[in-house]
A = this chain, B = another copy of it.
């Protein structure tokens, strides 16, 4: 096993809708992501992800009451393992491009979705503390932190293009 990467902790993240594609010219990196779920239960989500040439297995617990933090455990796996495990996943594999954008001291991960979630773009910023402040770029829209329908696990079974507007 090379590139062994692993984390096991509480993630603090805020999530926003994105109102323009201006972020694309500011991105320092973009990566294709294909991901599926072995469990979409909100108390124990199990995700298989192929991110460029890397594979990851990620397990998330329930969100805290304010929706800001969530137990997250992640382990890097090989591309082949990820491909094998994606075959076992529930229907509704998610296909997106992740743009990474540095805004002052923070990195925003902006996901542009395709397929059944086409039209949806969301940005997430990871914080060290729940009260941490950060600069909001112009393209950042409404906050949707903790809104379950924007969880990728939910977008898998109830995709954006099927929502009643």
Interface residue ranges, A against B (CB under 8 Å): 1, 4, 6, 8, 38-39, 41, 43-44, 46, 57, 59, 61, 71, 73, 75, 77, 80-81, 84-85, 87-90
Contact = CB atoms under 8 A, between A and B. Distances in A.
A89 B44 contact: yes
Contact of A44 (B4, B71, B75, B88): B88
- Interface centre among A8, A43, A44, A85, by most B CB within 10 Å? A44
Contacts of A61: 87-88
Per DSSP, chain A at the interface is strand
Contacts of A44: 38-39, 88-90
Contact of A84 (B1, B43, B57, B73): B73
Contacts of A75: 57, 75, 77
16 contacts: A1-B1, A1-B6, A8-B80, A8-B84, A38-B39, A38-B46, A39-B44, A39-B46, A44-B89, A44-B90, A57-B75, A59-B85, A61-B87, A61-B88, A71-B84, A75-B75
